[in-house]
């Protein structure tokens, strides 16, 4: 019996007695053993710990205890998040001591009944949209092993796309959920800033970063968000509770929406691949056929550079301060830290204030539309080795086509989702980005689910 593609069905099967959490976990571990040697999605597989946790889930069900919304679901977690008993590596070799406690998101996953099966690869400190590191090598795309899964949550995306786990947790500071979702043909929603706790850390790249799942279905993303959303006392950034659950939003019809589409990148000098632009146009036609008011617009993007760069540099520095041995960091990371010495806390606070002005200007687009539709990335999923031999400046230049549509919305804090829309002539996934008003994940989930129903998401041809 294969591992279900979606967590929602898995929970129902475990609750109904069709499967046990232990049996589901073994299917996941078998998939990992079969495919991960080639993919390198996982940094560590917690087989023994996960078996004990799955057995505990089955015992809870046998005793009649109320099951959680993720009961028995194997979940993987990105390396930047604390898992008790595991070293939080941030994608490098600078840490050696295991975390004493789970981070807030992992704690909430376990409380919801999930089984933590392992941790996933990322570039050091999540600096780049390519999951490559000196310490752990290259993570590969399940659609084509010569291609990158994107980043920085590339290990998370590869694990989900390949069916090693139904859902997994990533993070997004400049597109790091949406970019790998686009490269791997899965769904990835960056939530509203402050929607999900960064605990025990006070922030994730200051006002830029947030945490969230990548999944095969929109419904699964909503299911996980309902389990993990909310704040801890230590969080610098918070968000008010939504009016409806994310699951309810994913299950309802979106109604007739005003959707503005644009192929114009935020980043100057970036030209989107014609294949991605055609996918955007095709999606606009699909949405019009579904009854929405769809039109091409000029979003009049403000320049987010002065708000983004200091927070990026300050965020890397803040995470580097959590590392035991900075001498073990990559040469490229040392360059980033050296270049970013000017991004002091005072400078970062100024960048956050500039970000508030960028937010006001960028959100003017929603005076006339309910949702903005763009490409997720400008290029096709790139070949492996984009970071080979590259210092910080060259790596940043190579990253521009990947973040040209995504990073602005980290500065503003708006929710934004990458939605799969088929395959290109190269056999690789196509994706579009949906951006919503501040705090309006519900509309994005409802609209994304409508697109999914009209045009089912692709699945990699793995055994």
Helix axes 21-39, 154-161, angle to 10 degrees: 120
What's the pLDDT score for residue 15? 86
What's the pLDDT score for residue 462? 76
Q: Which H or E run includes 8? A: helix 7-15
Helix axes 274-289, 441-454, angle to 10 degrees: 90
> Which of 152, 267, 399, 448 does the annotation list as catalytic?
152
Instruction: Write out the CATH class of domain 7-454.
Output: alpha beta
Known catalytic residue: 190? no
Q: Residue 53 and residue 57: Cα distance in Å, rounded?
A: 6
Chunked mean pLDDT (size 10), the chain, 463 residues: 81 91 97 97 98 96 89 97 98 97 98 98 98 96 98 98 97 98 98 98 96 98 98 96 96 98 96 98 98 98 98 96 96 97 96 98 98 99 97 97 98 98 98 98 98 94 72
Q: Which of 41, 91, 46 is nearest to 323 (CA)?
A: 91
CB 42 within 8 A of CB 159: yes
> Which of 43, 78, 262, 446 does the annotation list as catalytic?
78
Known catalytic residue: 152? yes
Domain ranges of the chain: 7-454
> Alpha helix locations (H) across 137-239?
154-161, 178-184, 218-228
Q: Between the CA of residue 85 and those of 201, 279, 366, what are the distances in Å?
A: 18, 44, 45
CB 307 within 8 A of CB 355: yes
Helix, strand, coil percentages (3-state) for the chain, rounded to 5, are: 40, 15, 45
> Which of 133, 176, 247, 399 does the annotation list as catalytic?
176
What's the pLDDT score for residue 2? 67
Known catalytic residue: 215? no
What's the pLDDT score for residue 166? 96
Per-residue DSSP letter, 364: G
Q: Residue 313 and residue 348: Cα distance in Å, rounded?
A: 9
- Write the DSSP assignment of 250-280 as a string of letters: HHS---S-EEEE----SSTT----HHHHHHH
């Amino acid at each position: 019996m294969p591992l279900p593609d979606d967590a929602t069905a898995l929970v129902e099967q475990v609750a109904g007695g069709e499967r046990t959490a232990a049996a589901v976990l073994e299917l996941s571990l078998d998939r990992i053993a079969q495919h991960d040697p080639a993919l390198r999605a996982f940094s560590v597989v917690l087989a023994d710990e996960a078996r004990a946790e799955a057995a505990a889930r089955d015992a809870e069900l046998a005793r009649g205890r109320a099951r959680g919304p993720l009961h028995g679901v194997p979940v993987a977690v990105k390396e930047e998040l604390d898992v008790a008993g595991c070293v939080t590596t941030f994608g490098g070799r600078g840490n050696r001591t295991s975390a004493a406690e789970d981070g807030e998101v992992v704690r909430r996953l376990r409380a919801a009944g999930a089984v933590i099966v392992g941790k996933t690869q990322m570039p050091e400190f999540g600096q780049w949209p390519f999951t490559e590191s000196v310490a752990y090598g290259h993570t590969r795309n399940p659609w084509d092993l010569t291609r990158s899964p994107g980043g920085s949550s590339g290990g998370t995306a590869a694990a989900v796309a390949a069916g090693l786990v139904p859902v997994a947790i990533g993070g997004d500071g400049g597109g790091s959920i949406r970019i790998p979702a686009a490269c791997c043909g899965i769904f990835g929603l960056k939530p509203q800033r402050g929607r999900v706790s960064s605990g025990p850390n006070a922030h994730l790249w200051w006002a830029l970063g947030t945490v969230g799942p990548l999944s095969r279905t929109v419904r699964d993303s909503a299911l996980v968000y309902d389990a993990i959303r909310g704040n801890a006392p230590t969080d610098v950034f918070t968000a008010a509770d939504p009016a409806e659950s994310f699951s309810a939003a994913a299950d309802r019809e979106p109604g007739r929406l005003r959707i503005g589409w644009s192929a114009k990148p935020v980043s100057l000098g970036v030209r989107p691949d014609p294949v991605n632009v055609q996918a955007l146009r095709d999606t606009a036609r699909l949405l019009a056929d579904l009854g929405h008011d769809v039109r091409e617009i000029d979003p009049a993007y403000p320049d987010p550079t002065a708000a983004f760069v200091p927070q990026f540099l300050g965020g890397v520095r803040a995470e580097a301060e959590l590392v035991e041995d900075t001498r073990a960091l990559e040469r490229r990371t040392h360059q980033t830290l050296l270049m970013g010495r000017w991004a002091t806390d005072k400078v970062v606070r100024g960048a956050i204030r500039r970000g508030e002005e960028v937010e006001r200007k960028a959100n003017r687009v929603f005076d006339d539309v309910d949702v903005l539709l763009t490409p997720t990335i400008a290029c096709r999923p790139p070949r492996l080795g984009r970071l080979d031999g590259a210092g910080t400046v060259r790596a940043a230049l190579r990253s521009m086509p990947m973040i040209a549509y995504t990073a602005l919305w980290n500065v503003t804090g708006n929710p934004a989702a990458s939605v799969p829309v088929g395959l290109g002539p190269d056999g690789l996934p196509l994706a579009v980005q949906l951006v919503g008003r501040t705090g309006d994940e519900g509309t994005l989930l409802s609209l994304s689910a409508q697109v999914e129903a009209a045009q089912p998401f692709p699945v990699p041809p793995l055994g």
